Structure 1
Amino acid sequence: MNSTIPATPELSVIVPAFNEAEGLAAFLAQLFGVLATCSDSYEVWVVDDGSRDATWERLRGELARYPQLHGLRFTRNFGKEAAILAGLRQVRGRAVVVMDSDGQHPPSLLPQMLDLWRSGKAQIVAAQKANRDTDSWLARLNARLFNGLMHTLTGLDLEGASDFRLLDRRVVDTLLAFPEKIRFFRGMTVWTGFTTVPLAFDVAPRIAGSSQWSTAQLMRLAVTAITSYSAKPLSIVFRLGLFGMLAAFLLLLQAVYSWFTHVAVSGWTSMTVVVLFFGSANLLGIGILGAYLAQIFDEIKGRPEFLVGEILPAPAITTQHDITASKTI
């Protein structure tokens, strides 16, 4: 480890990156420019989530410029949640900030976040988006649907929330102690209940490139988040089953009445609608059960959340997590 960095720096910054080669150097220049003015001891960990461009090569080229900079590269793309977890396992700071590498999480907000933490007013400083003017209409629609589903099914209010937040060391240690492998960082920090202070910020334009999030990826994240924090979908299926039983009982009464009164049962349209509705409901219920079973299946397999391909500068292997990762590569 670089000797210029204290054994326990005041601040650690985790920066997940995926295909950010174009803007990485400019982002790091902004970040280190702000850090030099707001903290005497800090470290920055950039976690390359299996980028397919030159992100890792650009990061390697920046190491000589910034002694406090470190890099970790996955063997493949494991996802942003895994990248955040990898960063949390590496950092040593008394306060830890997680922020994106595309420039939309402004480094200029760091002094305010640190001041709130230093004052003892907050164990978590949650930066919240004041607006989404830089997002496309589809991205805004996806975010609205995602936040609405999360609030309805889990009770977690994530409106305007982002992964851009400062965590006290106690919060970090608590998150690392959680045994589950499938994680939703934003929801986990809210669930802990530690003292949280929101801090609004305007989303800046991306430094370069375009968003790597697709609608399909957001849907997968929504399924993971909902099944991790709520069993309400299962209760909805149960209620739908009760409704189906009631509807079937009413149809049975109608059929018996028609038989006794010698009145022919009316046409096939209503019967077709009923069959299609409850057939679709059954498939939906099976799909929801399958999502929970898949969650359980991934947990009990016991595979590591990620595999580390390279760390820069190369540290001595001292932690159990590092030993395990090294043996599996």
Structure 2
Amino acid sequence: MTAVHDDPHRGPVTFSIVVPMFNEEEALTALTARLRPTLDGCGEPYEVVAVDDGSTDATARLLADLRALWPQLRVVTLRRNSGHQAALTAGLHRARGSYVVSIDADLQDPPEVIPEMLALARADGLDIVYGVRADRSTDSVFKRRTAAAYYWLMRRLVGAHVPAQVGDFRLLSRAVVETLKTLPDQRQVYRLLIPWLGFPSGQITYRREERVAGATKYPVRKMVLLALDSVTAFSAAPLRLATAIGALALVVCFAFLVWTVTVYTMGRTLPGWTSLIITVLFFGAVQLFCLGMLGEYMARIYTAVQARPTYTVAHDTDEETS
């Protein structure tokens, strides 16, 4: 039988559900209507850690109202909007359960799958159970294509151990959570970091549903930033690419030099303004590209040296005194 994580203020908790939220007032009612019956049906003590990531709508007020009716609901409020991964980090670090499940509030990942994850983890002795999006027909063609390209690139750069079509809907054991808490508090990309840890894992497949309400919190700009963070955090390939481009530029430069000398010896030299401009632009672009790649890694080093926290907690209802 799985041990529960005890706390002197609220009693034992078998599993925690971490839900990062940013301006999710329209989705909260539907989320509660599906999540609470699912968790109550498990018949084990649990907590729901709702992390309010600096919402500017009525999310905070609605969470306070819900907590009065739902004793297992716990609200962690961040002082400012810190981003999805930072809010997820805050929830994981404060969750008390022996198992911790992370899920978004938009209900694209069905909470009804959580009992299956828990059962699989216990039956097979797994520390990680991934929710795999086997059917993404509800997503737009653009979303499906970009997601496929992202996972293809990550598997090529990071390794085949990265599961495809896996987001942030997963179950983690207490051992995994404690390991994550020991890592430096920098920008984490959990869909790559967690497989890298190497804990025993399994998968549960499901159909990805449409967002229940509100607008996506991952527009194209944030998707690009996530891909950039993923590449620079887990692979030195861009640096090697910059080196390869530099080597290619050297070959092109040498070939151009040979061509120039050949033309000169044949007495067919002409004013070379066009070729000169093209050459300058080409090598200028190569140099800027390589400097940009170096700059991305230097920025990460700069951020790590600063050692600033990725989030700050304003309030945690679990720390309220009676």
Q: TM-score, normalised by structure 1?
A: 0.89
Matched to 2:212, the amino acid is: I
Unaligned runs of 5+ in 1: 317-329
Partner in structure 2 of residue 84 of structure 1: 88
The match for 2:121 among 117, 122, 126 is 117
How far 1:197 sits from its partner (Å)?
0.7
**1:174-207 superposed Cα distances (whole Å, 9 cap, x missing partner):** 1111125121111111111111112111012222
- 1:305 aligned to 2:310? yes
Partner in structure 2 of residue 43 of structure 1: 47
Distance 1:266 1:198 in 2: 66
Distance 1:300 1:11 in 2: 35
- 1:10 aligned to 2:14? yes
How far 1:3 sits from its partner (Å)?
7.6
The match for 1:190 among 195, 215, 225 is 195
Matched to 1:35, the amino acid is: L
- 1:173 aligned to 2:174? no
- 1:132 aligned to 2:136? yes
- The alpha-carbon distance between structure 1 residues 22 and 292, as it changes in their structure 2 partners (threshold 3 A), is same
- The alpha-carbon distance between structure 1 residues 284 and 39, as it changes in their structure 2 partners (threshold 3 A), is farther
Distance 2:285 2:87 in 1: 37
Q: Percent same amino acid among aligned pairs?
A: 36
**Preserved contact between residue 50 and residue 74 of structure 2 (Cα < 8 Å):** yes
- After the TM superposition, which of the residue ranges 169-178 and 251-260 deviates more from structure 2? 251-260
What is the CA RMSD across the aligned residues, in angstroms? 2.1
**1:147-170 superposed Cα distances (whole Å, 9 cap, x missing partner):** 233233333545211100000111
Matched to 1:227, the amino acid is: T
Matched to 2:227, the amino acid is: A
Write out aligned runs for 1:1-329 (5 A): 5-7=10-12, 9-155=13-159, 157-264=162-269, 268-315=273-320
Matched to 1:301, the amino acid is: Q
Instruction: Report runs of 4+ in structure 1 exceeding 6 Å deviation.
Output: 1-4
**Preserved contact between residue 148 and residue 165 of structure 2 (Cα < 8 Å):** no
- The alpha-carbon distance between structure 1 residues 203 and 61, as it changes in their structure 2 partners (threshold 3 A), is same
**1:66-87 superposed Cα distances (whole Å, 9 cap, x missing partner):** 1111001111110011111101
- The alpha-carbon distance between structure 1 residues 77 and 311, as it changes in their structure 2 partners (threshold 3 A), is same
Matched to 2:214, the amino acid is: G
- The alpha-carbon distance between structure 1 residues 238 and 225, as it changes in their structure 2 partners (threshold 3 A), is same
- The alpha-carbon distance between structure 1 residues 117 and 56, as it changes in their structure 2 partners (threshold 3 A), is same
**Preserved contact between residue 134 and residue 203 of structure 1 (Cα < 8 Å):** yes
Determine helix, strand or coil for the equivalent of 2:71.
coil
- After the TM superposition, which of the residue ranges 91-100 and 259-268 deviates more from structure 2? 259-268
**Preserved contact between residue 185 and residue 309 of structure 2 (Cα < 8 Å):** no
**1:75-117 superposed Cα distances (whole Å, 9 cap, x missing partner):** 1110011111101111111111000111111111011101111
**Preserved contact between residue 14 and residue 46 of structure 1 (Cα < 8 Å):** yes
Distance 2:229 2:108 in 1: 24
